[in-house]
């Protein structure tokens, strides 16, 4: 079983924000596989199978800084293991449109990932950083992540989201090092 979590903030006012690209990945994956979202306490979830691997998609409904609560509750409910957790999230330290897979890395200043690490008491899970680029000098990073993408940046991000979704079955078939070599 794999538990694929997209990080973001719930609510219509946040849908197109940079901070929600993790949600975009799991939304596209659900759409492409015709998996239906169902609302549960502290999360939305969908289920399906990829290459004979049971996969759960999860969108925490706890806001970014409390993502760990929803992830921990889901793992407990499904008897899931941290090593089977795959978390997609935005990353300002990564160039716009870049994807980076890792296992066991720190939070890198991302509050949603920090919440998961602190709540689970481990960093031994897969993280996929989705590059959103840095704000212009002097701009507040907190304001930057709560803004939508515009123009050509949106096209770059949509391509990144497509590649991120493509990387999941590749990871299931070939493993971490293979996807790092192909998608980095």
pLDDT tens-digit readout, 54-76: 999 999 999 999 999 999 999 99
- Active-site annotation holds for 107: no
Transcribe 80-126 into DSSP letters.
--GGGEEEEEEETTS-TT-EEEEES---TT-HHHHHHHHHHT---SE
pLDDT at 42: 80
153 pLDDT above the threshold of 90: yes
Residue of 19, 89, 110, 126 marked active site: 19
Q: If you average pLDDT over residues 102-107, what whole number do you get? A: 95
**Do residues 84 and 54 make contact, with C-beta atoms less than 8 angstroms apart?**
no
Of the candidates 107, 137, 126, 117, the one whose C-alpha atom is nearest the C-alpha of residue 2 is: 126
pLDDT surpasses 90 at 97:
yes
Inter-axis angle of helices 176-183 and 151-174, to 10 degrees? 150
Containing structural domain, residue 52: 2-183
Give the CATH number of the domain where residue 148 resides.
3.40.50.1470
Q: What is the mean pLDDT of residues 25-44?
A: 93
The pTM of this model reads 0.95
pLDDT tier for residue 169 given thresholds of 50, 70 and 90: very high
Cβ contact 112:140 at 8 Å: no
pLDDT at 41: 82
DSSP string, 47-90: EEEETTEEEEEEEESS-GGGHHHHHHHHHHHHT--GGGEEEEEE
How many distinct structural domains can be found in the chain? 1
pLDDT at 43: 85
Beta bridge partners of 85: 3
């Amino acid at each position: 079983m794999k538990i694929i979590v997209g990080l973001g903030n719930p609510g219509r006012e946040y849908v197109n924000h940079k901070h929600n690209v993790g949600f975009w990945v799991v939304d596209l994956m659900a759409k492409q596989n015709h998996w239906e979202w169902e609302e549960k306490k502290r999360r939305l979830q969908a289920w399906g199978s990829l290459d004979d691997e049971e996969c759960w998609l999860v969108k925490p409904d706890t806001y970014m800084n409390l993502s760990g609560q929803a992830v921990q509750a889901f793992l407990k409910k499904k008897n899931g293991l941290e090593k089977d957790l795959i978390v997609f999230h935005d990353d300002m330290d990564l160039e716009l449109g870049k994807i980076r897979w890792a296992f066991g890395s720190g939070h890198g200043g991302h509050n949603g990932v920090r919440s998961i690490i602190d709540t689970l008491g481990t960093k031994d899970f897969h993280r996929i950083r989705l590059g959103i680029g840095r704000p212009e000098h002097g701009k507040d990073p907190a304001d930057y992540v709560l803004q939508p993408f515009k123009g050509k940046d949106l096209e770059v991000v949509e391509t990144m989201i497509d590649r991120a979704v493509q990387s999941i079955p590749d990871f299931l078939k070939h493993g971490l090092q293979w996807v790092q070599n192909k998608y980095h």
